Amino acid sequence: MYQVDLDPGHQCPWKEEVTRVLRLLEQKDAALCELQQKLEAVLVQTQSLERRLFGPKSERLPKVEPVEKQLRPDSEQAARQEQGRARRRERKALRKTMRTQTVFHPVEKEKQRCPRCGNPKLDPLGEGKNTTEYEYVPGYFVRYEHIQQKLSCRCGEYIVTADPPPRATDKSQYGPGLHAHVVVSKCADSLPLHRLAKQYSRLGIPMERSTLCDVFHATAQKLSPLSERLLQLIAQAQVVQADETPLKMLSPERKGYVWTFLHQDLIGYRFSGDRSGLTPQQVLGGTPGTLVVDAYTGYNRVTQVPGRERAGCLAHARRKFFEALPTAPVEAKRALELILEVYRVEHKAKEAGVVRTAEHLQMRQTQGREAMERLKAWLEAEQDRHPPKSPMGEAIGYALNQWQPLSRFLEDEKIPVDNNASERALRVVALGRKNFLFVGHQEAGQNLAGLYSLVATCQAHGVDPMAYLSDVLMRIDDHPAAQLDQLLPHHWTPPSAAPRAAAA
């Protein structure tokens, strides 16, 4: 602020003019400071956009070891190397179980004569030289011709026909394996159906994309009770994590959203035509427990009413400090170091094998609370040193405004310190958004989300989604509704039945 000491009793014709000029200078300084803050914000946004488009996605510090290595003591290096060797041995053993064909390569006739003595009869020397070659054999389709036996009575009054074979979906001429392959290709491998149609054509079965769409949606509608039941089980859990990501709808052309709700290895998805809080309310409304989310207000319908308490995501707070590195490198790096101390406590619990136990809670309430208190004290000391609209000021403001949800994990060992699991669950949606761009309409989005739920939960429990979908498609019609949980991925048992069709 500009100040000029003037005698209050002094009367000067320039006094008012000097005061006016000082006020103008103060206004210009304020405007300049505001422009500087906006420029810093634009700089951070530009660098963030460039990093998303051209740079690495990891939020590692430059010239600093990643968080995993910082948390990993030197004594664990040998153990991790041994784990890597064990994985390689498992893969080698798995290769030996592959279908093997032995190809014998005889010596050419012109070489079967000794050049020294001229003996034309050479004796075998051992089993021969053994080499290995891995070859790819394209998949193939099988056409089953079902013949239903017909019998008649000699009296001519009675004709009986064998029951038709069960179908994967109503009036479908495609088997459960093909239905499962279409679903896994799109929901696990993010393959657009028009590309899958090209693959099928190369294998000798030309199929239109519209036909594959019908197969996909018919599968989703038949298995919708399973995906809905999965969301119900997640809603009954004490701790639930949630997040959302956009996915465009073609008709009408507007932005839809895919929401994920998960509890440990149970992963569910829900599609909606907007980002309002109606979807979290429909899935979790009225259920007790804790909801781990970011600061988005759409979850207030669940957390600001009697029901679930809100827990924050420390990774979101860390990301804001990471984005502030270009404008405040020293302060932002210090904030990242303080947040790392919190993660060190969680890493110690994981290495000790006490995650989600009373001992883990004890570590959080002692070491974890001390690390969070040091972080809060530093944030409060730095808050007045940075403009509120600067990247560093916004990062500090976000952390302090969300401090109560961010500290919720200190009270319960079952609450995760961040919401990274939900973000990982949405990666498949983001990849699909790049490949097939959009869904046709609201119902198509709901079908996609339902099949995402079943495939993702299969993968989380180490279940082959192809085998799972092929089996439950044929069993769900006759399965008792009261025992529907037996068909969910985490309770499913592979069938030991004979092949679907006997050899002719």
Per-residue pLDDT tens for 23-43? 777 778 778 877 877 777 777
Q: How far out from the chain centre does Cα 333 lie? A: 28
Phi-psi region of 289 (alpha: psi -120 to 50; beta: other; left: phi over 0): left
Structure tokens at 441: 């309409």
Peptide bond preceding 252: is omega within 30 degrees of 0, i.e. cis?
yes
**pLDDT for res 196:** 94
Instruction: For residue 169, give the nearest of 473, 449, 472, 452 by alpha carbon.
Output: 473
**pLDDT for res 418:** 95
C-alpha count within 13 angstroms, C-beta hemisphere, residue 141: 18
Phi-psi region of 172 (alpha: psi -120 to 50; beta: other; left: phi over 0): beta
Tens of pLDDT, residue by residue over 163-219, are: 988 888 888 889 999 999 999 999 999 999 999 999 999 888 888 999 999 999 999
**pLDDT for res 10:** 58
Q: Helices in 204-328 by DSSP H: which ranges?
A: 209-222, 224-235, 278-284, 300-303, 314-323
361, containing H or E segment: helix 358-363
First to last CA, the chain: 96
Name residue 289's beta-bridge partners. 308
Structure tokens at 277: 């809080």
Q: Are 275 and 464 in contact (CB under 8 A)?
A: no
Q: What is the secondary structure of 96-161 as a DSSP string?
A: HTS-------PPPGGGSS-TTT--S-PPP-TT----------------------EEE-TTSS-EEE
Show the beta-strand stretches assigned E in 386-466.
438-439
Structure tokens at 137: 């054999």
Alpha-carbon torsion (215, 216, 218, 222), positive or negative = positive
Q: Which residues lie below 8 Å from residue 165, measured CB to CB, with a gap of 6+?
A: 146
**pLDDT for res 449:** 97
C-alpha gyration radius of the chain? 33
Instruction: For residue 418, give the nearest of 299, 288, 286, 318 by alpha carbon.
Output: 318
**pLDDT for res 194:** 94
Instruction: For residue 204, give the nearest of 135, 249, 295, 143 by alpha carbon.
Output: 143
| SS3 category, 371 | helix
**pLDDT for res 498:** 38
**pLDDT for res 162:** 93
Q: Cα separation of 181 and 466, whole Å?
A: 6
Question: What parts of the chain have a pLDDT lower than 70?
Answer: 1-18, 51-77, 496-504
60 secondary structure, DSSP code: P
**pLDDT for res 484:** 94
CA distances from 417 to 340, 362, 399 (A): 12, 15, 14
Q: Cα separation of 137 and 451, whole Å?
A: 29
Q: Are 298 and 270 in contact (CB under 8 A)?
A: no
Residue 8 burial class via C-beta count within 10 angstroms: exposed 0-12, middle 13-18, buried 19 and up: exposed
Q: Cα separation of 421 and 242, whole Å?
A: 9
Q: Are 158 and 152 in contact (CB under 8 A)?
A: yes
- The one-letter amino acid code at 79 reads A
**pLDDT for res 121:** 85
Q: Are 454 and 223 in contact (CB under 8 A)?
A: yes
**pLDDT for res 76:** 62
**pLDDT for res 409:** 96
Structure tokens at 432: 């699909």
Q: Cα separation of 387 and 332, whole Å?
A: 14
Instruction: For residue 403, give the nearest of 424, 383, 426 by alpha carbon.
Output: 383
Structure tokens at 90: 């498992």
